[in-house]
C-alpha cells in the first residue's frame, strides 16, 4: 500500500504552538509545545506520530483538527486553508480520544449518540438501519444501541466512539492515544479494528501514540517527535530497519526486551532528564543535547538540519550515525 503515489490531504508548514507558563509569580516563560513542524499526511494513509508525554503530539493533533489555533504556521486541508475548510465542512475531520470513559455523553444511549452524528452529516436514509450497520462495522451487535455508556466496557466504549467518528464518513481522522487506556488484549482488538476500518472507509489518519510497537503496527509512515519538534520521519519499514536519530534508538531501547530483538541492535539508551525542564529550557541548539551520547559542540550551538536519507526518510540530527 505504501508504494502507491498518493496526493497530500493535510499539509502543515512551520507549525508552532507556544504557551505562556508562569514559573512563579513574576517569572514567565514560553513553553514551545509544538515548534516549527512540517508535516504531510497523504490520502488513504496512516501517519504515526510517536513521542513521549509532553512532546507536543496531542497539541499538534488538536491543531490539525482545528480545535487549537496555531501560534504561527499554516495548515492546508485538501489544498485549502484549514480554517476556511472547517467553516464549510466541519464533519470531514474527526477525532477519537484517549479516555473512553469521558468520550461518550453519560446521558445518551449508544443509538442516540450515533444518530446524532448521522443527523450532523448529510445522511438521508433510515437512521435505525444505519446505526445498526455502524455498530456491526465496529464489531458490536445491534442490541448495543439501547445501552448507556456506563453499561459498556472500556473497549466497547472506544468502539462506539470510533463508530461516532466514522458515522459522518470523515476524510481525516486523528486517533489520539486511542488504545493507551485499554487492556493489552482489548488493545489488540481495537488496533485490528482500526486497520480494518481504514481499509473500508479509506480515510487518512494521524495515529498519535507513545508506544512504538503499536505505532509500527498501525502506520504506513512514522514521525518521531521530541520536545515539540519532529526528529525523524520515515516509512515504517525504514524506521524498523534503520532508525537513525539517537532519540528513535532510545525509544527502541525502551521497548520490553521481547520485541526489541526486531530492531537488530540499533537500540541506544539516553540519559534520563526531567521532561519539563527540557521543554522550557531555552536552548538554541538540539533539544536532545543534554541527553545525547553523541553530542558535540555543534549540537549545542545550532539547530539540527534536515537530512534526507532517502525520498521518504528524513532525520533532524547533526551527528546521525548509520
Partner 1 sequence: MSLIADLLPLSNPLVGDLSKTLRPPEPNHVLGTDELGRDLLSRIVYGTRVSLTIAFIGATLGCVIGVMLGLISGYFGGVTDFMVMRVVDALLSIPSILIAIALVALTGPGVINMIVALAVGLTPTYVRLVRGVVMQTKNLEFVIAARLLGLSSVRILTKHILPNISYVIVAQYTLDLGVSILFAAGLGFLGLGVQPPTPELGSIIGSGKAYMSIAPHVIIYPGIVLAVLVAGFNLLGNALRDVLDPTSKVMYE
Which of 113, 92, 93 lies closest to 103 in space, CA to CA?
Answer: 113
DSSP secondary structure letters along 208-221: EES-HHHHHHH-SE
Q: How far is the CB of 101 from partner 1 (least distance, A)?
A: 9
Q: Between 17 and 249, whose beta carbon lies closer to partner 1?
A: 17
The Cα–Cα gap between 67 and 114 comes to 21
The residues that touch partner 1, with contacts defined as CB under 8 A, are 65, 67, 90-91, 93-95, 97, 99, 102-108, 116-117, 120, 148, 150, 161, 164-165, 168
Q: How far is the CB of 92 from partner 1 (least distance, A)?
A: 10
The Cα–Cα gap between 174 and 191 comes to 14
Residue 7 contacts residue 41 (beta carbons within 8 Å): no
Q: How far is the CB of 32 from partner 1 (least distance, A)?
A: 22
3-state secondary structure 266-318: CCCCCCCCCHHHHHHCCCCCCCCHHHCCCCCHHHHHCCCCEEECCCCCEEECC
Q: Between 93 and 222, whose beta carbon lies closer to partner 1?
A: 93
Q: How far is the CB of 264 from partner 1 (least distance, A)?
A: 39
Q: How far is the CB of 61 from partner 1 (least distance, A)?
A: 12
Q: Between 61 and 304, whose beta carbon lies closer to partner 1?
A: 61
Angle at which helices 127-137 and 154-167 cross, to 10°: 130
Amino acid at each position: 500500500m505504501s508504494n502507491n503515489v498518493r496526493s497530500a490531504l493535510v499539509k502543515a508548514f512551520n507549525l508552532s504552538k507556544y504557551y505562556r507558563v508562569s514559573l512563579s509569580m513574576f517569572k514567565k516563560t514560553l513553553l514551545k509545545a509544538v515548534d516549527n513542524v512540517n508535516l504531510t499526511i497523504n490520502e488513504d494513509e496512516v501517519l504515526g506520530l510517536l513521542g513521549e508525554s509532553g512532546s507536543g503530539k496531542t497539541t499538534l493533533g488538536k491543531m490539525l483538527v482545528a480545535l487549537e489555533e496555531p501560534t504561527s504556521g499554516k495548515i492546508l486541508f485538501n489544498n485549502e486553508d484549514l480554517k476556511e475548510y472547517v467553516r464549510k465542512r466541519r464533519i470531514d475531520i474527526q477525532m477519537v480520544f484517549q479516555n473512553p470513559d469521558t468520550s461518550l455523553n453519560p446521558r445518551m444511549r449508544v443509538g442516540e449518540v450515533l444518530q446524532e452524528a448521522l443527523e450532523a452529516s448529510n445522511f438521508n436514509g433510515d437512521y435505525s438501519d444505519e446505526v445498526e450497520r455502524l455498530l456491526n462495522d465496529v464489531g458490536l451487535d445491534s442490541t448495543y444501541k439501547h445501552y448507556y455508556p456506563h453499561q459498556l466496557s472500556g473497549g466497547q466504549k472506544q468502539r462506539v466512539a470510533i463508530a461516532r467518528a466514522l458515522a459522518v464518513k470523515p476524510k481525516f481522522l486523528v486517533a489520539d492515544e486511542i488504545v493507551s487506556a485499554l487492556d493489552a488484549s482489548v488493545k489488540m482488538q481495537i488496533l485490528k479494528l482500526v486497520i480494518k476500518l481504514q481499509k473500508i472507509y479509506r480515510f487518512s489518519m494521524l495515529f498519535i501514540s507513545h508506544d512504538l510497537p503499536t505505532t509500527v503496527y498501525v502506520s504506513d509512515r512514522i514521525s518521531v517527535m521530541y520536545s515539540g519538534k519532529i526528529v525523524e520521519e520515515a516509512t515504517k519499514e525504514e524506521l524498523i530497519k534503520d532508525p537513525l536519530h539517537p532519540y528513535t534508538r532510545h525509544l527502541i531501547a525502551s521497548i520490553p526486551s521481547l520485541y526489541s530483538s526486531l530492531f537488530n541492535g540499533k537500540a541506544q539508551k539516553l540519559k534520563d532528564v526531567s521532561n519539563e525542564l527540557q521543554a522550557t529550557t531555552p536552548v538554541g541548539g538540539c533539544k536532545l543535547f543534554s541527553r545525547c551520547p553523541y553530542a558535540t559542540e555543534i549540537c549545542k550551538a545550532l539547530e539540527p538540519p534536515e537530512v534526507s536519507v532517502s525520498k521518504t526518510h528524513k532525520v533532524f540530527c547533526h551527528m546521525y550515525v548509520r
